[in-house]
């Protein structure tokens, strides 16, 4: 690890005004310190933003229909917040299923969205071909071990997936990421926050170096929503596949459905065509619901070792939708 200086921010603007080159913002540190240990990041300065109390609160939005979650709110604080448990259970469940209890007490939601792929070649201590780590070096996973890699949106240059659980829930909720910089405030749909390899190979998301995530905004409540995480062991494990669903029903008839898959691409993957096909369908019409979901997988492409992820993802989407439909007024699935 290379030497670095440490300073504390006292105001959010400290994170984007007069910041020296090669400064990294430190929130919970659960990702950043690992990157420094692995040689993925070599900051010369750490600016600790973790004491900015204004970025920690969870408040009702001015129009009272939604919620503003400060970027430094921890995953456990979000998972336990009564409004989120009742009105956005998919997000509470996604946060609760991430990492371990100890990590969730430190891990901020802003830092969670900025986590990078867990591709073992990317995170290796040895120098292996990885275009994300060393541009132009190739992609060891493309023809190497790729059982946990992408089935959507990959290119020969990178087949990695984004591992965040909360990001999948936020995509299904049509949440917005609020971003501040010296240029002002901008909002990015959670669904558009992460980038695909074809967009810009070295990036994971659209945040610029001189920008600070200040909050996540949730809009209309989604009490009928649920998160399903498929993983190799039941706790403290990243998702093999996950699915977030939010549904509005008239009796048994689906008025609207929103479904996002996780760990299938380098960004949460919304099933927009399936959502359109599901409108007006009975949630009990299993064959029709399944067919609507499977139709979306015409664009899925398996790698040599991960064809099973296609079936798992189809089943996860269906099951999450059914869990969401059963979930009236919150409660944990
Ligand atoms: C062992 C382990 C298991 C895990 N399992 C899971 C899991 O199952 N599911 C899951 O979803 N996640 C998992 N995680 C990821 C974990 O949730 C993230 O590491 C954590 O949320 C990152 O938040 P942080 O506050 O610690 O970020 P930090 O490590 O402090 O920061 C990460 C990056 O974000 C930047 N940053 C942080 N906050 C801001 C901000 N507000 N604005 C701009 N830049 C910012 C930092 O500069 C840095 O580049 C796991 C992590 C570990 C170490
Ligand atoms: S999948 Fe992406 S992150 Fe993994 S080795 Fe290939 S280029 Fe690197």
Q: How confident is the model at residue 112 (pLDDT cuts 50, 70, 90)?
A: very high
In ligand 1, the atom with minimum distance to the C-alpha of 25 is 47
pLDDT digits (tens, 9 = 90+) for 229-258: 999 999 999 999 999 999 999 999 999 999
Q: Whose CA is nearest to atom 5 of ligand 1?
A: 99
Q: 3-class DSSP state for residue 317?
A: helix
In ligand 2, the atom with minimum distance to the C-alpha of 117 is 3
Q: Whose CA is nearest to atom 3 of ligand 2?
A: 122
pLDDT score recorded for residue 116: 98
Q: Is the CB of 30 under 6 A from ligand 1?
A: yes
Burial of 298 (0-12, 13-18, 19+ CB in 10 A): exposed
The residue whose CB lies within 8 Å of the most ligand 2 atoms, and thus the one to mutate among 117, 120, 122, is 122
Residues in the chain: 333
pLDDT score recorded for residue 161: 98
pLDDT digits (tens, 9 = 90+) for 65-86: 899 999 999 999 999 999 999 9
Q: Is the CB of 162 under 6 A from ligand 2?
A: no
User: In angstroms, what is the span from residue 148 Cα to ligand 2's centroid?
Assistant: 12
Judge whether 5-48 and 226-326 match in fold. Answer: no
Q: Whose CA is nearest to atom 36 of ligand 1?
A: 111
pLDDT score recorded for residue 309: 98
Task: Summarize the confidence of residues 174-187 as an average pLDDT.
Answer: 98
pLDDT score recorded for residue 329: 54
The DSSP output letter for 19 is P
User: In angstroms, what is the span from residue 281 Cα to ligand 1's centroid?
Assistant: 39
Q: Is the CB of 159 under 6 A from ligand 2?
A: yes
Q: Is the CB of 262 under 6 A from ligand 1?
A: no
Task: Summarize the confidence of residues 13-38 as an average pLDDT.
Answer: 97
The answer to whether residue 333 scores a pLDDT higher than 70 is no
Q: Whose CA is nearest to atom 33 of ligand 1?
A: 111
In ligand 2, the atom with minimum distance to the C-alpha of 138 is 7
User: Residue 113 phi/psi, 5° resolution?
Assistant: -65, -25
pLDDT digits (tens, 9 = 90+) for 277-325: 999 999 999 999 999 999 999 999 999 999 999 999 999 999 999 999 9
Percent of the chain with pLDDT over 70: 98
Q: Which one has a higher pLDDT value, 217 or 332? A: 217
pLDDT score recorded for residue 210: 96
Task: Summarize the confidence of residues 183-209 as an average pLDDT.
Answer: 97
User: In angstroms, what is the span from residue 111 Cα to ligand 1's centroid?
Assistant: 4
Q: Is the CB of 130 under 6 A from ligand 2?
A: yes
Ramachandran quadrant class, 79 (left: phi over 0; alpha: psi -120 to 50; beta: rest): alpha
Q: Which residues contact 33 (CB under 8 A, 6 or more apart)?
A: none
In three-state form (DSSP H/G/I as H, E/B as E, the rest C), the secondary structure along 55-101 is HCCEEECCCCCCEEEECCCEHHHHHHCHHHHHHCHHHHHHHHCCCCH
Q: Is the CB of 150 under 6 A from ligand 2?
A: no
Q: Is the CB of 254 under 6 A from ligand 1?
A: no
Q: How confident is the model at residue 63 (pLDDT cuts 50, 70, 90)?
A: confident
CATH number of 226-326: 3.30.390.50
Q: Is the CB of 140 under 6 A from ligand 2?
A: yes
Q: Is the CB of 71 under 6 A from ligand 1?
A: yes
Q: 3-class DSSP state for residue 190?
A: helix
CATH number of 5-48: 3.30.43
Q: How confident is the model at residue 330 (pLDDT cuts 50, 70, 90)?
A: very low
- Domain range annotation of the chain: 5-48, 226-326
Opening angle at CA 310, ends 306 and 314, nearest 5: 155
Single out the residue of 101, 102, 245 nearest to residue 168, CA to CA: 245
User: In angstroms, what is the span from residue 128 Cα to ligand 2's centroid?
Assistant: 10
pLDDT digits (tens, 9 = 90+) for 121-147: 999 999 999 999 999 999 999 999 999
Q: 3-class DSSP state for residue 313?
A: helix
User: In angstroms, what is the span from residue 287 Cα to ligand 2's centroid?
Assistant: 37
pLDDT score recorded for residue 331: 40
pLDDT, averaged across the chain: 96
């Amino acid at each position: 690890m290379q030497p670095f200086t440490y300073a504390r921010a006292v105001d959010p603007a400290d994170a984007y005004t007069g910041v020296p080159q090669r400064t990294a913002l430190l929130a919970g540190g659960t990702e950043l310190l690992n990157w420094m240990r692995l040689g993925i990041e070599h900051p010369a300065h750490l600016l600790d933003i973790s004491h900015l109390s204004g970025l920690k609160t969870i408040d009702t939005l001015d129009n009272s229909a939604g919620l503003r979650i400060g970027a430094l709110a921890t995953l456990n604080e979000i998972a336990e917040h009564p409004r989120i448990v009742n009105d956005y259970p998919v997000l509470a469940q996604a946060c609760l299923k991430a990492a371990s209890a100890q990590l969730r007490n430190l891990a901020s939601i802003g830092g969670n969205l900025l986590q990078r792929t867990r591709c073992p070649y990317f995170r290796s201590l040895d120098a292996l071909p990885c275009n994300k780590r060393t541009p132009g070096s190739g992609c060891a996973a493309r023809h190497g071990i790729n059982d946990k890699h992408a089935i959507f949106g990959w290119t020969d240059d990178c087949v990695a997936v984004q591992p965040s659980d909360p990001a999948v829930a936020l995509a299904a909720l049509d949440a917005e990421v609020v971003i501040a910089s010296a240029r002002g405030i901008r909002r990015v749909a959670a669904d558009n926050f992460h980038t695909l390899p074809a967009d810009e190979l070295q990036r994971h998301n659209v945040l610029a170096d001189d920008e600070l995530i200040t909050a996540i905004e949730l809009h209309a409540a989604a009490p009928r929503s649920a998160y399903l995480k498929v993983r190799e062991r039941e706790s403290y494990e990243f998702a093999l596949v996950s699915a977030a669903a939010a549904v509005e029903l008239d009796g048994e008839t689906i008025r609207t459905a929103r479904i996002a898959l996780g760990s299938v691409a380098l960004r949460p993957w919304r099933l927009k065509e399936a959502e359109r096909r599901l409108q007006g369908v009975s949630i009990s019409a299993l064959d029709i619901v399944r067919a609507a979901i499977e139709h979306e997988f015409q664009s899925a492409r398996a790698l040599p070792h991960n064809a099973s992820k296609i079936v798992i993802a189809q089943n996860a989407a269906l099951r999450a939708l059914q869990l969401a439909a059963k979930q009236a007024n919150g409660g944990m699935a």
